[in-house]
Amino acid sequence: MELKDLAKRYGDEIERRKRRLRDFWKGKDIGRPPLSFVPYSLEPRQIFDDANLQFEKAARYFSMIMELPGDNVPVFWPDMGTISLVSVFGGELIKESDGQNQWIKPAFSSLEDVRNLEPPDVMSGLVKEEFDRCRRWRDITDGFGYVAPPDIQGPVGNAILAIKQEEFFIGMYTEPELAHKLLRLCTNVILEVLSVYRKEFGDSFIPVTWPYVWIPDGMGISLTQDSLPLLSPRLYREFELPYVKEIARKTGGVFMHCCGQFEHSLEEIKEIPGLIGIDPSYPLSRIEKIIEVLGKDIVITPGLNSKGIDEFPSYDRYVEHLIKTLPADVRLWYILPADNPEEYFDVSAAIATLKLLGLNHILEEYQEVISKC
């Protein structure tokens, strides 16, 4: 299929999915939980050195998504890695010999380096690379699907990539004003990059990188808070929460990802304005505890940590546990595989999950599509 044919072939179905999801975000009953089927083996993320290969793979990936049932909306996210935003501060990029992974050396050796630091050019480094690829994708596909910004790590997450994390954490106690200056700069980078993308891509922009959900622009962004397990509630409240609250106010809300322990800071998280969702990882953070503190209006994407796999060797067994233990009106969004990335999270687990949810009509469509692959 020609890339320009994607928009013509699937445009109407994308609009139908968006209408359904807008209703969901407005709190309406859409008859079942949202479902994102993901063909993981076709993912076009993190192809660092060959943009054309990334575009070709993205076309196959998005075609598969649109043939599958459910609610997944295609989003082109080049994903140069968690280091993308922080690359605007400088720092040496390091690639492994096979080119499949890349890292960055901290741009600063100490917080003292930040004292007289000027704001960086946000359209530089890997941010510029991702931005240019998103523009090319839009142009060669006649605007098919959506484009996403670089991986939106939180302010502390970016700060501990810009400087060695032990230096930053010590600096919270010894040089808090400089720690705050770096966090201010990191927050500004997030907001400015979102602004540049929004101006360039307009209605084709969606500020979501992780997890695989779709949120209308203006209702919130996805924000990774993997620094939460490293911070006490007091440190989170003092050093990160003010900036997260600012980001939430300026973007309409936050769908938070954290794959570590964060139950100890739920009371602080509760203060984030427009907190619309959380992507946790069981058993490090439990859905029962999350809804106890945050309420049942929060949207949750259930996920398992490696320790959770020991308890629930297949994903459907975890879903069965949730059905038995959670209130029936909890707002869950299931993200399911369309191929076999891992033994516990494969097609058989997806089939069993759909049966548990009583979604036989979705199951029939799903099986029909994957049987042709």
Judge whether residue 1 has pLDDT over 60: no
Helix (H) or strand (E) holding 76: strand 75-76
pLDDT digits (tens, 9 = 90+) for 229-259: 999 999 999 999 999 999 999 999 999 999 9
Is the distance from CB of 7 to CB of 144 less than 8 angstroms? yes
Predicted local distance difference test score (pLDDT) of residue 259: 92
CB neighbour class for 37 (10 Å; exposed up to 12, middle 13-18, buried from 19) = buried
CA quadruple 174, 238, 223, 299: dihedral, nearest 10: 150
**Amino acid (1-letter code) at residue 101:** N
Structure token pair of residue 263:
């139950």
Integer angstrom CA distances of residue 334 from 26, 113, 162, 261, 322? 18, 44, 34, 21, 12
Residues forming beta bridges with residue 205, ordered by sequence position: 147
Judge whether residue 9 has pLDDT over 70: yes
pTM: 0.95
pLDDT digits (tens, 9 = 90+) for 270-312: 999 999 999 999 999 999 999 999 999 999 999 999 889 999 9
pLDDT digits (tens, 9 = 90+) for 319-373: 999 999 999 999 999 999 999 888 889 999 999 999 999 999 999 999 999 988 7
Neighbours of 295 (CB within 10 A): 10
Alpha carbons within 13 A on the beta-carbon side of 240: 27
Go through the domains of the chain in sequence order and give each one's CATH number: 5-334 (3.20.20.210)
**Dist CA 179 CA 115 (whole Å):** 10
Residues 134-158 as b/e (b if ≥16 CB within 10 A, e otherwise) read bebbbebbebbbbbbbbbbbbbbbb
Mean pLDDT of all residues belonging to the chain = 94
